[in-house]
Structure 1
Amino acid sequence: MHGSKLGKARGESMDFGRLRTLRELSLRKTMSSVAEALLISPSAVSQQIALLEDEVGISLVERRGRGVRLTPAGERLVEHAGKVIGIIEEAKTDLAELKRTVAGELRVSAFPSVAASLIPRTMKALADRFPDLVTTFDELEPMDSLAALRAWRIDVAIVDDLSTASGFPEGTVEMHHLLDDSLFVLLPLDHRFSGDDTVSLGELSGEKWALDTSSSTYTGVIVGACRDAGFDPTINGHCHGFEVVRALIAAGCSISIIPGLRGRDYIGDLCMKEIRPRIVRGIFLAYRRGEKRNPAIAAFISELEKVVGSSCG
């Protein structure tokens, strides 16, 4: 993007906001995606990187097609930026713990089935009990949540161990077990297995399947379970949300697999049967190591566990 820099401000302190922008660029790879994350224009992202390069007196990024790649100097600076951001976040936690007040902003992420079942009531309980705390929510798949947590874009992530089996836990993140959630087969009311207590996947080998493919990882888990049972599922519905999956099942076109949490909220006039043998996913809270002592995070965990207890107890 830039050649060698003469460095207008060499020796002066580096701007923290520009360091954060560079770190976002290392994670997101394009100016436009960084701009979307930081709620600024792509030209402003480019300008911040150029100003940072002027500050340090060396090129930090180079263009590669539509994206950019960090130079060795840029990668080294991002490593230091991560440490600086971590120290600042730790300082915020220390001060919040000393004040012992639940206030400020808490950024939370979760994947759809958990989000719909648990997040709204938890946010409402927090707002009623702690009016000075502003809780914001992002719907993210588990691996995206962990990436956002590592990048300090969120404070608490709700993830599961089916979708993140290859990427969790890690040394900088603490995990707090929240609940176990079984998967169920979702059938039309007049299906031949609607009167059975449980259904094995092998018995469903001749069925047509509708899957919510918005999460490729979760879809892979379902397809893998079917293959373990001895067949490749015939998929006649590739859907980008559960609403269409549900409509296909209700019309008698398909069957599907649904997490228990989502099923309790959305089963309606369909039939939900436990899979034999059970397929269970663990659901966990993830937060940066040591931040459970932050009063806002501790309050969120407490309220969420109350909601879990009332929903799943």
Structure 2
Amino acid sequence: MEQVSGTFTIDLRRLAVLRELQRRGSLARTAEALRLTPSAVSQQLAALAREAGVPLTEREGRGVRLTGQARVLLAHADAIAAQLEQARADLAAYGEGGRGSVTVGCFSSGILGLLPAVLRGLGERLPQVRVDVVEAEPPDLFTALDSGQVDVAVAVDFAKAPPHTDDRYSREDLFTDVLDLVVPAGHRLVGQGPVWLRELARDAWIIGAAESCCGAVARSVCAAAGFTPDVRHAVSDWGALAALVEAGQGVALIPRLVRELYVRRRVVVLETEGEPAVRNVFAAVRAGSEGDAVLEVVRDQLLASGEALLG
């Protein structure tokens, strides 16, 4: 392949495809995330490789992996994306923060327990700005953030979320959400005082889908307690999950963020020994967009509403 020329030029849209391949790990998953065909993804990557003058992928079994040159290019791609976001923020600041709309992507229980207070606060602080909400979780949430479909991502730390060291995003920890151990009113451990989570290892469990943030977190909490839960019902809707607990169909870990869905039911929240099960909730924007006047207010309101929840 030819060496990089003195008139080096690359298509930023193709860089976005390479960034998505880095996140997804396969052409098929990249194509699905970008709503392209695998052939189109391959063509975009091949064109980018020609522009860069270096190989960007190499065969690995039936799939592909990134080359060292691709990783060098991606490091620059992150810096370029951040610089473009900074330019966008500077232009918005020049116009006195006159952005007409902002889109917040958030996980389902965050929409239920956190965003109503956030939206009320933003309605008072930014009455001229339209705020749209999209339900999404990592990795799709961060694909939407990268592409500009979402301006602020609110997510839970788990395996599919970006690591703290990911320089593509500027992130802010919002609050720690406790997962309450909820059991039917007639459960054998009610009234026995604090319990170890492992004491429920032989119970039937009601847990969200494994690929969802809460399903993944609940499974990891049980694993840390030393057992694999017997998942009888895979339910991601928190109201339906609480109803199944009330009906005696199993036990569950339910985020305190949605406690309004279970406090009025005939269920019992058991106190647990040791540190309670928790999940970390954070907000992220594209690196370089931190100075956007509207996004600053949105992140400030997320922090304030999160603190009020803890109070």
Could you tell me which residue of structure 2 aligns to residue 169 of structure 1? 164
* Structure 1, gaps ≥5 residues long: none
1:39-118 matched pairs, under 5 angstroms: 39-103=35-99, 106-118=102-114
Match of 1:237 among 223, 232, 250: 232
Aligned match of 2:30 = 34
Q: Which has the higher contact order (CA 8 A, sep 6+)?
A: 2
**1: distance between equivalents of 2:64 and 2:198?**
48
Please tell me whether the aligned partners of residues 198 and 225 of structure 2 are also in contact (alpha carbons under 8 angstroms): yes
User: Is the contact between residue 61 and residue 69 of structure 1 (CA under 8 Å) also seen in structure 2?
Assistant: yes
Q: Secondary structure at the match of 1:293?
A: coil
Q: Give 1:221's aligned residue.
A: 220
Contact 2:202 2:230 survives alignment (8 Å): no
CA-CA distance at 1:101 after TM superposition = 1.5
Check whether the contact 2:145–2:152 (CA below 8 A) recurs between aligned residues. no
Q: How far has the Cα of 1:223 moved from its partner?
A: 0.8
Amino acid paired to 2:112: A
Cα 1:245–1:265 shift into 2, 3 Å: closer
CA offset at residue 185 of structure 1?
A: 1.6
Q: 2:197 aligns with which of 195, 201, 211?
A: 201
Give me the whole-angstrom Cα distance separating, in 2, the residues matched to 1:195 and 1:290.
53
Provide the residue aligned with 2:134 in structure 1.
137
Name the counterpart of 2:17: 21
User: Within 1, Cα distance between the matches of 2:140 and 2:31?
Assistant: 19
Q: Distance in 2 between matches of 1:160 and 1:46?
A: 32
Shift of 1:72: 3.4
Kindly tell me: are residues 267 and 145 of structure 1, through their superposed partners in 2, closer, same or farther at Cα, counting changes over 3 Å? farther
Which residue identity is paired with 2:295?
A: I
Q: Is residue 279 from structure 1 mapped to residue 281 from structure 2 by the alignment?
A: no
- Deviations, residues 49-103 of structure 1 (Å, cap 9, x unaligned): 2332333344433344553323333333222222211211122122223323151
Unaligned runs of 5+ in 2: none
For the residue of structure 2 that corresponds to 1:276, the secondary structure is coil
Give the corresponding residue for 2:302. Answer: 304
SS in 1 for 2:153: strand
Q: How many residues in Structure 1 have an aligned counterpart in Structure 2? A: 301
Q: Is the contact between residue 103 and residue 130 of structure 1 (CA under 8 Å) also seen in structure 2?
A: no
- TM-score for both structures, normalised by structure 1: 0.74
In structure 2, how many angstroms separate the alpha carbons of the residues matched to 1:102 and 1:257? 43
Query: Could you state the TM-score of these two structures normalised by the residue count of structure 2?
Result: 0.74
* 33-42 vs 151-160, which moves further: 151-160
When residues 50 and 174 of structure 1 are mapped into structure 2, their CA distance, relative to the original with a 3 A threshold, is closer
Q: Is the 8 A contact 1:180 1:280 kept in 2?
A: no
1:182 partner SS: strand
Q: CA deviation at 1:208?
A: 2.9
Cα 1:240–1:10 shift into 2, 3 Å: farther
